[in-house]
């Protein structure tokens, strides 16, 4: 077994689905997306009611539209949110929620750079740049230590 495989560390974000099936994960996350989409409808209905206008058409069509927008928005949320970062040697595999739910194989890529900038770490790989914030990673300090160790040096600090 190569030495790089022996030092594999996995870090899960707060978005990681855990043992949830895709249907359960979507159902749990749909409520938040729906709330964001239906809030403007509630505000519009309140304003219409205060003006003495009819509220039923706006409530009916606005709610249906909000459900449609939330349902269309969910795939983008699931494909964009980082669920896990796996560090092995000088490589990293970043898994999005969709990758975890689909059971996709880890895609390893070299770490080209990492920069600590105030409240987040910017991780640069061969294919993409990721922003990792402490509020989304329960093991944030261990994650940054693993990235630093993988790079063989300390993370560059940005003084902005």
Mean pLDDT of the chain: 87
Domain match, 92 and 125 both: yes
The predicted pLDDT at position 147 comes to 87
Domain match, 11 and 29 both: no
Domain match, 32 and 53 both: yes
Task: Give tens-digit pLDDT for 77-116.
Answer: 888 899 999 999 889 999 999 999 998 999 999 988 888 8
How far is the C-alpha of 54 from the C-alpha of 125, rounded, in Å? 54
Domain match, 48 and 123 both: no
Domain match, 138 and 97 both: yes
Domain match, 97 and 50 both: no
Neighbour count for residue 117 (Cβ, 10 Å): 14
Domain boundary among 33, 56, 79: 79
Which tokens go with 128? 């993409």
Which tokens go with 21? 């099936």
Domain match, 9 and 58 both: no
Domain match, 52 and 90 both: no
Residues of the chain with pLDDT under 50: 1-6, 154-155, 158-160
The boundaries of the domain holding residue 63 are 22-79
Domain match, 7 and 33 both: no
How far is the C-alpha of 90 from the C-alpha of 110, rounded, in Å? 6
> Per the structure, how many domains does the chain have?
2
- pTM for this prediction: 0.74
Domain match, 99 and 138 both: yes
| Cα dihedral 68, 71, 76, 77 in deg (nearest 10) | 120
Domain match, 51 and 64 both: yes
The predicted pLDDT at position 3 comes to 46
**Integer angstrom CA distances of residue 96 from 22, 73, 87:** 13, 16, 15
Domain match, 90 and 153 both: yes
**Integer angstrom CA distances of residue 37 from 23, 66, 69:** 20, 5, 7
| Cα dihedral 96, 100, 103, 104 in deg (nearest 10) | 20
């Amino acid at each position: 077994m190569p030495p790089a495989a022996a030092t594999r560390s996995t870090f899960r974000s707060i978005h990681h689905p855990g043992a949830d099936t895709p249907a359960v994960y979507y159902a749990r996350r749909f409520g938040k997306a729906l709330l964001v989409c239906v809030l403007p409808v509630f505000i519009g209905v309140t304003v219409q009611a205060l003006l003495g206008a009819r509220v039923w058409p706006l409530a009916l069509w606005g709610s249906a539209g909000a459900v449609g927008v939330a349902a269309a928005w969910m795939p983008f949320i699931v494909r964009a949110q980082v669920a896990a970062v796996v560090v092995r040697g000088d490589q990293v595999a970043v898994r999005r929620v969709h990758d975890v739910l689909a059971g996709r194989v880890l895609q390893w890529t070299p770490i080209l750079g990492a920069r600590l900038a105030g409240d987040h770490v910017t991780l640069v790989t061969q294919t993409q740049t990721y922003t990792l914030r402490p509020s989304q990673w329960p093991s944030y300090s261990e994650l940054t230590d693993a990235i630093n160790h993988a790079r063989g040096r300390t993370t560059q600090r940005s003084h902005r």
